[in-house]
Amino acid sequence: MAGGEGTRLRPLTCDCPKPMMRLMNRPVMEYALKLLKRHGIGDIAVTLGYMPDAVTDCFGDGSALGVRLSWFVEQTPLGTAGGVRQARAMLDETFVVLSGDGVTDLDITRAAAFHRERGAVATLVLARADNPMDYGVVDVDAEGRVRSFHEKPDWSEVLSTSWSRRRLRACPRGVPATSATSCSRRWCGRACRCTAT
């Protein structure tokens, strides 16, 4: 996911999309691509919206980083799940959704193993925060199953999510749908497993 406008970083993002913001003289998105590669993920779908040419011109087909990039540009903002749905044809049974405009050291291999072991439809990788109201709260039971989401009104991103194709089919076509709201609520409370770690 690399399509956001970066409005909270303005004026820095007025002429530079957030994935292209520099951190230690490299575009932030480069760190995400290298993390995926380290965990054996070489076919990468990238969803874009705001100033897509700046991103595609920088990374091209991904060969300079040893990965294969496929680009999916939103003509109108579709939200997290709506954007990911565009890449549906290239997604296998289990896939990872990662923010292309943030930096993380997430152990993707471990998260994917957890997802498969639990037989989950979706797995959210969560972190504790001193003030969870800054990020939203995910209520889980003792086994890590998601019971509910308590979000900030404008919270619409999840740092990283493992999904199954079955989960993606619940997302409406061509309309904004964030993974934290529109689609996840359809799964919570059903007879499927939506887990968090």
For the question of residue 37 being annotated catalytic, the response is no
Instruction: Indicate which residue of 18, 34, 37, 152 is catalytic.
Output: 152
Tokens of 67: 């990965």
Tokens of 104: 């993380």
d(CA 2, CA 18): 8
Tokens of 163: 């999904």
Q: Which residues contact 141 (CB under 8 A, 6 or more apart)?
A: 147
Residue among 95, 99, 90, 85 at smallest CA distance from 69: 90
Taking a C-beta distance cutoff of 8 angstroms, is the pair 156, 180 a contact? yes
Q: Which residues contact 88 (CB under 8 A, 6 or more apart)?
A: 165, 168
Residue among 30, 23, 81 at smallest CA distance from 55: 30
Parallel/antiparallel/unpaired status of strands 160-164 and 94-98: antiparallel
Kindly list the catalytic residues.
Answer: 152
